[in-house]
Structure 1
Amino acid sequence: MTAFFFALVASFLAATGARDQLLVAGLRARLGPAPGLLVVALASAVATAFLASWFGAQLSQGMSRDASTMFVALAMLLAAFECIWPNRTPRPQEPTRSLGAIAIVLFLRQLTDASRFLVAAFAVALASPTLAGLGGAIGGGAAVAIGWAAGDALESKVPLRKLRLGLGLILAVLAVWVGLTARGLIG
């Protein structure tokens, strides 16, 4: 259950203010409360979370404990970088109404985001890829659902940039600490 809870909380926090959540919020503001958009966003969040956990499971098969801990540190560092990197993606001016096109864009954005890096890391470190995938799916799904529900109000009500910078800083510090632990330099 540890993998489930860690993945759920980490993926929700890492997906808050992320490119996928902002895209869903922007599309919802322009297309209206289309339930198809919510279904596509949730399906993509679930698929990418389980794909990340499957990837983590494949990696963990040949890793020692120290190597898996170092992988967690690297995944956390990548997640920190993704959180800190400014999101300058322009909102679609004339968004497509094609759910297939929206699904492809969301899937590709989510595949390499901080949330999925963390799900893969928990699948490796805690040797429970199914629970990590389930937690990541629920956390990532909740984040895009909030984006869908809030629409344009999301960015005006929540200081997302500051939140992402703070999360990125915390992840970077944790990544260094975990990496030093894996190398036997502390703890």
Structure 2
Amino acid sequence: MNPTRSLARAVAFASLVSAASFAAHAAHAAQLPIASEALESHVTTEVTAIDLANRQVTVKGPHDKDVIFQLTEQAKALPNLKVGDQIDIKVTRAVAYVLNTREGGAPKASVESGTIRATAANPNPGGEAFRQVKVTSQIKKIDLAAHEVTLLPPEGKLQVVKVEDPELQARMKNLKVDQTVEAIYTEVLSVETSRPAQ
């Protein structure tokens, strides 16, 4: 994994996350999980400079080139960070596809996000942030011979999806036009800091 790309992804994701509260959705009895996948990026680095006035933290990048993070006001524990602190960054991305077995329902999209920050018990800067995007598409056509499903997403332009998995191909005969498929995209950013023993 390219460390620069991992750091860039972590920074890009962090800039998207808001402090909105997360409302968990209970699994619906009429929903059937049909596929999922996940990918994790991980990088460990060291703080080389801190600019508290401008809320910027510089860390050691690949080949000892500096990478600067611009932090927001949400980074409350920034004054606790010191040069030489180790930073461990993990970004996990997952996607799950769920079939709503009921017919009906309009295409839609929703975004939920939240953060967990440092606590009194663990005052080191860091925490977790997550963002979940749920996109509901409606089935408009099913082609069993070609193993294709035509979906209408919220943006209104039909998309043809080729079903490659033989197990899922066998289940296609149970699909019906006007059922909905939800694609749930989840990203979790975890940042931990530690200080070398003096």
The two structures have a TM-score, normalised by structure 1, of 0.27
Look at both structures and tell me which one has the larger radius of gyration over its CA atoms: 2
Which structure has the highest helix share of the two?
1
Which protein has greater RCO, CA pairs closer than 8 Å, 6+ apart? 1
Per residue, is there more strand in 1 or in 2?
2
